[in-house]
Each structure stands twice: as C-alpha cells, then as structure tokens.
Structure 1
Amino acid sequence: MANSGEEKQESKSVIRPTDDQARQLAKGLIRSARFGALAAVEAGSGHPLASRVAVATDLDGTPVILTSTLSGHTAAITETPACSLLVGEPGKGDPLAHPRVSLFCEARQIARDSEDHTRLRRRYLARHPKAELYVDFGDFAFFRLELQRASLNGGFGKAFALDQADLCTPLGDLHQWAVMEEGAVAHMNEDHGDAVTLYAEVLLKAGEANWRLACLDPEGLDLAAGDRIERLWFSERLTDPQDLRPTLVALALQARNS
C-alpha cells in the first residue's frame, strides 16, 4: 500500500496554472508560425494522417490554411472537421526543449465569394506571397481552424492547458478592424518603412533585413523579412481601431529614443 508521500506525488498535476505569460507564449507561437503539422482522420480509412501545412492567422488569432482538393488532408478535414495543429519551430539543440503548442480545432471551409475569403486571402498572402501563383485556382480553398482548446509545452516541466478564451483575441467589430488593418498595413509599408524597420531592428533586436509589416491585430504587429516572422506585442490590447495610429506613433518614438 502506497504511503501518503507517494499518494501526493501521484496526485500532483503536471499542468501548471494558466497565466498571462503562458497565454502570450501560446498566442505568439500561433501568430508567428509559417507552417505546422496538421493531424486529421484520413477519409475512408480512419487512420491518423499527419501533413505539413503552411499557416497564417485571422485577425482574432485563428489559424488559417490553404489547401487543394488533391490533398489527402483536405478530404480528411472535410469529412471529419475535428483536427489538431502543432506549431512551434525547434531551434538549436534538443528539439524537445523548445516551446510548442498543440491546438485542438474544428476545420471550417471559407466560401470563395465571402468577405471572410477576401480578408483571409490578403492576410495569407502577406505571410506566403508565393502562394499568389495558385491561391485563386478553383481547386484551392481556405479553412479556418476554429480553436477549441490547446496543450502548451513551454519546455521541460512547463505544461499548460488553455481554452478558447486564452487563445483568441476579442475583436468587437470584425469588419471595422479588417478595413483598418488593410489600409494601415499598406500605408506603413509604402510611407513609413523606416518606422517598420525600427520596430524590427530596435524594439525586437531582430537584425538588419528588408522588414515589412505583414499583418496587425488588436494585440500586436507581425513583421516579415523573407522567411522570417517576428511578433511585436503592444503594451496592452487595443479595444478600438482608432487607437492604432497613436500606438504606432508611440512605438516609433520609443524606437528612435532607444
């Protein structure tokens, strides 16, 4: 019979309490992911099917993929929308020492003639510009992988269980945010490239490169240079799109005074 010490050891949970640091780590892994491993149930066989997919995000942080009807994972998530996505790129050394997050999702195909499709097409191409060669082919479609919950591994001994509220960014008026983002991204890249460079090279210390603003949302900016994506978080979440301009100005001033 186990003694009380052994019973306490067995009952001790390996899951840490979810805090803001864990939430930001998970969101950052999702927002900065260029690819991930999609796990789905193979159509017809019922076997697990794992595929590498290119990833972008919607304004609220929901992962987005573009798939062809010729792909086995398209048939899989069409027949069985329940799926998982693993993101978190390993760096040098032990790959298991690097953070990653497993996302439990429901795949939802986006109608080509919808406002959602227009927004997702723009955001996806900001991450994957070469996809413009095939994004409008008739056999390609966008899927939002609607987040249900997640298992975050922040490294050895750093496990967290997150729910939908921990992962998604509240938006309010989605259309208003989408219109604002499209105009702001174009304006910053065309007229304020120097500020974008300062965001990346001074505030993020990401090194010299041809940086551009790929996407933005109420919680931060996604900066891109070739295959690199860097995330710059705002000090606090914006609740109104009108707050974006003063926030970007303040960040530029902060970088210039650093």
Structure 2
Amino acid sequence: MKDQPSPLRETDDEARKLARVLLRSARHAAIAVLDPETGFPFASRVLVAIDIDGTPVILVSRLSAHTRALGSDPRASLLTGEPGRGDPLAHGRLTTQCLAEAVERGHPFYERIRTRFLDRHTKAKLYIDFPDFLFFRLKPEQASLNGGFGRAYQLDGNDLIIQSAANEEIAAAATAAVRDLVERHPDVAERLADRLKAPESGSWRICGIDSSGFDMISGDFLLRHEFETLAVDADHICSNISKIAYSIP
C-alpha cells in the first residue's frame, strides 16, 4: 500500500508572514485549556493583545474557568483568524499551542503589557485594575496554519516571535514615538488607512508598534502591517510608517 501524501505544504516565508498577521491582527480569540477536574478540553473566548516580542497576551479574571485551568496546567491553544463571507473554512486561521505565564502586578513586564493591552482595548480600562484580574503571556511552542483549502502548514513557535535585540528599547520609546509622529503628521492614520486599503470605518489610529510592524484600529476593525525587514529602533519604525503613508504610489 502506497504512503498517503502529506497534507502539509513546505513552510515558506509567505506562510510565516500569514501566520504572524493572523496572530497579531486578532482582537479576540478562542482559547482551549485542560479542565483540571475532568481533563476534558475547555474552550472560551478571550481578548488578545500582542507584547513587544510578538507574544500574545490575554487579560482574565481569576474567577473564570480558563484562568483556574491555566493555573493548574499552563498548556493552551489559541485559535485566531476571522471568517469572511461564504464558507468559513475557506478563510485563513491559525492554531497556536502555547505555554501560559502569569503576569501580575510587580512583574517586570506588567506596565508594558498593560499599556499595550489598553492601546487595543480601551474599554478594558473599566476593569483592568480590578484585583482579581491578571495577564497571561502565551508563549508560542508550535502552530498549525490553515490558509484556506489545500494550504496547511506546520510552524515552530519561533516563527511567531520577533527576534530583535531592540525589543526592550522600542517598548520604552513606543508611546512617545507614536505621539510625536501624530503631532508632526496629524493625518498619518488616515493616509495609512487609505494606502493599506483598510475597511471603511470611523477614524483610525495607530495602536501599537514593534520592530516587525504596526497596528491600527478603528471601532471593531484591527489592521496589522508587517515590515519587509525588522526596524532597529522606534525612529526607524516611524520612518517606515511615514514612507508608507506619504510615498508616491
């Protein structure tokens, strides 16, 4: 009997980029954890932000079932990717298998993650500082990408992480850099939305930068743009953004 051909394609740079965009452009995701009492998978929905190194971050209540499960077993899977019109299975989605690390007040990453989360989810300001809420960083271990029918790939966790020595420096300068960029170019978000063919919506704003790209948000829409090469500092990121917004097509 002949061996069956593998359903997986060879993972290339195009697949890696699609996977990163599916993960980094997600405002929410389905999370699957292991119920500590029964061992059964338990699925829920969580809001998602992205840390400076590309690691997905969630904010959860200690009272929720998935938080208790992660406290018992840090293994989790995150499903990202929005279905569009027609058959939902024709649209790209990414399952990322992760190890969860709690980030509570006093953690070295806490303030950075809090700021980046609120940049995406402004309404979370109503409850983000409640004592029963905490963050988890979900470190990618491996991932399964389905880019649509016949486009399946297996990825390593490192394919989703931003490998840059400038991450910490960029994180410290990010808020000021974006503020200065908008002060110099008040219409920059509008120009970017036009150039990147963003969905028609209300006003857009830049809601996050990192050495790999930037995020924009408007209402329920989130747009992720990845640079061709890693930026070396916050000024480099803003220079890249300006070129995209104001260069001649």
Cα offsets for 1:90-110 (capped at 9, x unmatched): 111101111000000000001
Query: Which of residues 178, 183, 191 is equivalent to 1:185?
Result: 178
2:233 aligned with 1:244, yes or no?
Answer: no
Counterpart in 1 of 2:196? 203
Separation in 1 of the partners of 2:44 and 2:201?
Answer: 33
CA shift in 2, pair 1:70/1:176, >3 Å: same
Q: Percent sequence identity over matched residues? A: 43
CA shift for structure 1 position 89? 1.0
Query: Which of residues 46, 62, 84 is equivalent to 1:53?
Result: 46
On the 8 A contact 2:27/2:47 being kept in 1, the answer is yes
Q: Alignment partner of 1:148: what SS?
A: strand
Runs of 4+ in 1 over 4 A off after TM superposition: none
Counterpart in 2 of 1:125? 118
CA shift for structure 1 position 170? 1.1
CA radius of gyration, larger in: 1
Counterpart in 2 of 1:144? 137
CA shift for structure 1 position 191? 4.7
Q: Which amino acid aligns with 2:76?
A: C
CA shift in 2, pair 1:173/1:111, >3 Å: farther
On the 8 A contact 2:182/2:188 being kept in 1, the answer is no
Q: Write out aligned runs for 1:86-235 (5 A).
A: 86-207=79-200, 209-235=202-228
Deviates more, 1:188-197 or 1:222-231: 188-197
CA shift in 2, pair 1:27/1:38, >3 Å: same
Separation in 2 of the partners of 1:185 and 1:241?
Answer: 9
Q: Alignment partner of 1:55: what SS?
A: strand
Q: Alignment partner of 2:237: what SS?
A: helix
CA shift for structure 1 position 113? 1.5
Counterpart in 1 of 2:23? 30
Separation in 2 of the partners of 1:211 and 1:241?
Answer: 20
CA shift in 2, pair 1:73/1:205, >3 Å: closer
Structure 1 gaps, min length 5:
none
CA shift for structure 1 position 253? 2.3
Separation in 1 of the partners of 2:72 and 2:152?
Answer: 31
Q: Which amino acid aligns with 1:221?
A: F
Choose between structure 1 and 2: higher helix proportion. Answer: 1
